[in-house]
C-alpha cells in the first residue's frame, strides 16, 4: 500500500478562459500536498496544504475567488475529517478568514465539529488566526460577475445537465492516504453564486461534502450542495466500499443522487488500500492524483 493524494477543483461547466489556470492550480495544489506526505506528515496535513493552495487562487471558488451572495458579499464553508478516530472540523458562512480550511482544522481540535458565522470568526481570533476585511476576499472577476448579474432568484436557475448554468456551484477538495495507512478528506467553497446570505451547502456537512474512515476510505464531493446533502453523497460513497470497488461505489452513489433528488455532482474517492477513482454526472470535473512511484495525472 503506497501513499496517494488527489485534489479536485469543482464539477460543472468551466469557462474556457479558466481551463488553463485551473489546470495549473490543480498541479500546484497536488505538488504542495504531495510534498507534505513525502516529508512524513500525515494525510490531514497533506489535504489541508493542498486545499490552502486552491483557496489562494482566484480561478477557484474557495477563499480568495469565492462566489458572491445575492448581497454581494463572501460567505465561505469548509470541512475536514480524519479517518483515524473519525475526527471532524468544519466552519460555515465565514467572511473574514483567508483560509477557511485552516480554521476547520482548529475546530477539529476543539470540543465541537461545526462553528458558523461570527462565532466561528471569534473562535479564529482565540486561536491566533488573523481576521481580514471581507472585501479582501473578493476577486475582480467575482465583482464584475456580480455587477453583471441580472438578479434572477437562484431557485429558478437550472443545473448544468443539458441546460445553461447561470451560477457556480464549484467546490475544491482533497483526499489522501499517508504512509501509516490513515486517510483524510478536506472540502472548501464559496458556495453557490447569488445564494441568499446565510445559505449553507454540503461542504461543511460531514457525510455530505466529505467523509473519511480508516476502515474504508475517504471522499470529497462537489456540485449542487442541496442535493448532495439530501442524499448524504459523501457517506453513501464511502460506505459502499464495504461491498464494491471504488468505481462501482461512486457509480451507484451518483446514480442514487440522480434518481432520488435529480442532483449533479462529482467526487474523488480513495479506498483504504490506495485504489482511487474520480466520477461525476455533471458536465465535467477537474482533478489531479498522485500515487507513490507514479507520475501525477491531471484531468481538466
Residues known to be catalytic: 171
* Cα–Cα distance measured from residue 289 to residue 270, given in angstroms and rounded to the nearest whole number: 10
Query: What kind and span of H or E run contains 258?
Result: helix 246-261
* Cα–Cα distance measured from residue 120 to residue 127, given in angstroms and rounded to the nearest whole number: 11
* Cα–Cα distance measured from residue 26 to residue 49, given in angstroms and rounded to the nearest whole number: 12
Strand partners, 236: none
Length of the chain: 300
* Cα–Cα distance measured from residue 48 to residue 22, given in angstroms and rounded to the nearest whole number: 18
Distances (CA, A) of 56 to 49, 84, 257, 258: 11, 28, 31, 32
Q: Helix or strand or coil: residue 86?
A: coil
Instruction: Kindly tell me the number of DSSP H helices and DSSP E strands found in the chain.
Output: 8, 12
Instruction: Decide: 270 and 276 in contact? Cβ < 8 Å.
Output: yes
Instruction: Decide: 10 and 51 in contact? Cβ < 8 Å.
Output: no
CA 228 remoteness from chain centre: 12
* Cα–Cα distance measured from residue 25 to residue 232, given in angstroms and rounded to the nearest whole number: 28
- Count Cα neighbours of 172 within 13 Å in the Cβ-side half-sphere: 36
Distances (CA, A) of 242 to 83, 90, 205, 214, 236: 15, 26, 22, 12, 11
Amino acid at each position: 500500500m503506497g501513499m496517494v493524494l488527489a485534489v479536485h477543483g469543482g464539477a460543472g461547466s468551466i469557462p474556457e478562459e479558466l481551463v488553463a489556470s485551473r489546470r495549473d492550480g490543480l498541479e500546484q495544489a497536488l505538488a504542495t500536498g504531495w510534498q507534505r506526505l513525502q516529508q512524513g506528515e500525515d494525510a490531514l496535513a497533506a489535504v489541508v496544504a493542498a486545499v490552502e493552495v486552491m483557496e489562494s487562487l482566484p480561478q477557484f471558488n474557495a477563499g480568495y475567488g469565492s462566489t458572491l451572495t445575492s448581497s454581494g458579499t463572501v460567505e465561505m464553508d469548509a470541512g475536514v475529517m480524519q479517518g483515524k478516530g473519525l475526527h471532524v472540523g468544519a466552519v460555515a458562512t465565514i467572511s473574514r478568514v483567508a483560509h477557511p480550511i485552516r480554521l476547520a482544522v482548529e475546530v477539529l481540535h476543539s470540543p465541537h465539529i461545526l462553528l458558523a458565522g461570527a462565532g466561528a470568526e471569534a473562535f479564529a481570533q482565540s486561536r491566533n488566526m488573523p481576521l481580514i476585511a471581507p472585501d479582501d476576499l473578493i476577486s475582480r472577476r467575482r465583482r464584475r460577475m456580480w455587477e453583471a448579474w441580472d438578479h434572477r432568484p437562484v431557485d429558478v436557475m437550472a443545473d448544468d445537465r443539458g441546460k445553461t448554468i447561470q451560477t457556480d456551484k464549484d467546490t475544491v477538495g482533497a483526499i489522501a492516504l499517508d504512509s501509516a495507512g490513515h486517510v483524510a478528506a478536506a472540502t472548501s467553497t464559496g458556495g453557490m453564486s447569488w445564494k441568499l446570505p446565510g445559505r449553507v451547502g454540503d461542504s461543511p456537512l460531514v457525510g455530505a461534502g466529505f467523509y473519511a474512515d480508516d476502515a474504508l476510505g475517504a471522499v470529497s464531493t462537489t456540485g449542487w450542495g442541496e442535493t448532495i446533502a439530501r442524499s448524504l453523497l459523501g457517506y453513501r460513497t464511502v460506505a459502499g466500499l464495504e461491498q464494491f470497488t471504488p468505481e462501482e461505489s461512486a457509480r451507484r452513489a451518483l446514480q442514487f443522487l440522480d434518481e432520488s433528488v435529480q442532483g449533479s455532482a462529482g467526487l474523488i474517492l480513495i479506498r483504504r488500500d490506495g485504489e482511487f477513482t474520480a466520477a461525476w454526472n455533471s458536465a465535467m470535473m477537474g482533478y489531479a492524483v498522485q500515487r507513490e512511484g507514479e507520475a501525477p495525472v491531471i484531468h481538466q
